[in-house]
Amino acid sequence: MPVNMPELTKLKPVSGVRLNSICAGIKRTDRDDVTLFEFIEGTTCAAVFTKNAFCAAPVEIAKQHLTEIMPRFWLINAGNANAGTGENGLLNAKRSCSSVSILGKCEENQVLPFSTGVIGQPLPVEKIESILPDLLHGLKENNWLKAARAIMTTDTVPKGISVEIIINEQKITITGISKGAGMIRPDMATMLAFIATDAKIGSNLLQNCLNKAVEKSFNRITIDGDTSTNDACVLAATGKSVEFNQENIATFQIALEQVCIHLAQSIVRDGEGATKFITVEVLQGKTEQECLNVAYTIAHSPLVKTAFFASDANWGRILAAVGRAGVSNLDLNAVEIYLGDVCIVRNGGCDLDYTEEQGQKVMSQPEILVQICLHRGNAQTQVWTCDFSYDYVKINAEYRT
C-alpha cells in the first residue's frame, strides 16, 4: 500500500475540459485502459517529455503535433507503451490520432497521443478504434477520478489533486492526475501527468510555468533510477477564467508547483513495493548540481534503499554514497549527515553522541529525512525516493505475465 497517502475520492472539474475512460482490453479486460480529454477551442497547451533517446512513438508524434497547432484532444492508453516499435509504432500512433480527429471533427495534429505499459509490443490500435465512439459519447467534465484510475499500470491507487485559488475575486481551478510506480527517474522535462486549468495563459508563458514546476517536482523524484521511454507531463489552459501575464503569473506558478509536487510525491509514495517515503536533502553545496549529484547518488543506491526497507541504521552506506558522488575536493571533516534530527556523521566519522538506538528509531518510521550538510557554499536541493523491498523485484520480474 502507498506510504501515508490518503485515498483519492474527488477531483474538481475544470471548465472547458471534458474527459472519459473506457475499457478496450489492451492488456486486461477488467478495467478501463483508454482515456480521452477534450478541450474547447482556444485552449493553450505546454508539455515536457522524456529525454530517453529511445522515446516512444506517441512521444515523437505528440512533440511534432505540438509544434504545429494547439491540441483539442489528448488520447491516452495504458497496457502498451508503443515504444521500441519502429516505423510501425509511429504509424499506429498517427492512426489513432486520425481516428479521433475524424470522430471529433478536428485536424489529426490536434490530437496528442500518450501510451504507457509494456515496451516492444505492437499497439493494438484496432481495439482503441473500436471503443472511440463510446469514448466520445461519454465525455463529461467530472470524469477526472475515472481517468486517474484508467491511466494506471502497476500503480496500486489513483493519483490526483485539485487546487483552487482566487484572483480578482474569480476562482481558478487546477486539477491534475499522474501515474507511475516503477521505471521512475524523470529526466524531462513509466510516468505520465495530465494537468488542466481554466486560467487564460499564452502558450509560451504556460510552457515557462510548466518547465519551472517540473524542475521542482517530477525532476526531483526517483524510484529506481530508470528514465522511461514514455515520460510526459502536459498542461492545458482553457481560458475560461482569469487571464495571466508576466506581471501577475506568480500566484498561478505557486499553485501549479503545489499540484506538481503533490503528484510527483504520490508517485514515490506508491512506488513498486515501497514501504518508506524518503526525503534526501543536501545543504550548503557549491552548486545546485553538486547537491543533486549527492542526493541522487544516495537515492539510487540499492544498498541504501534496502537498508531503509530493513529499517537498518547502516549509516556507512549513506557515507559511502556521499563519498562516491563525484564532489571535487570534498572536505570529509566538514560533512555532516543526519537521519531525521539525529546526527550520525561528523568530523569524518560516526558522531560521538550517536547511538544505534537513535538511528533505529528514525529508520523504523514510514517517512524519513536524510540530510547532508556539505559546508561548501549556499546551494541546496532535495529529492524524494522510496526503499527497495522484496515486492519491487517480484513486481518487475512478473511484469509481462
Task: Provide the annotated active-site residues.
Answer: 190
Q: Which three cell numbers stand for residue 97?
A: 490520432
| Dihedrals phi, psi of 169, to nearest 5 degrees | 65, 15
Rounded distance, CA 270 to CA 291, Å? Answer: 25
Task: Retrieve residue 195's grid coordinates.
Answer: 494537468
Beta bridge partners of 171: 166
Closest CA to 43 of 308, 262, 241: 241
Long-range contacts of 257-261 (CB under 8 A, 24+ apart): 257/212, 257/213, 257/216, 257/217, 258/161, 258/163, 259/161, 259/163, 259/174, 259/175, 259/176, 259/195, 259/213, 260/176, 260/193, 260/195, 260/213, 260/214, 260/216, 260/217, 260/218, 260/233, 261/216, 261/217
Judge contact between 321 and 301, C-beta under 8 A: yes
337 close to 345: Cβ distance less than 8 angstroms: yes
Q: CA-CA-CA-CA torsion for 135, 138, 144, 145, nearest 10 degrees?
A: -90
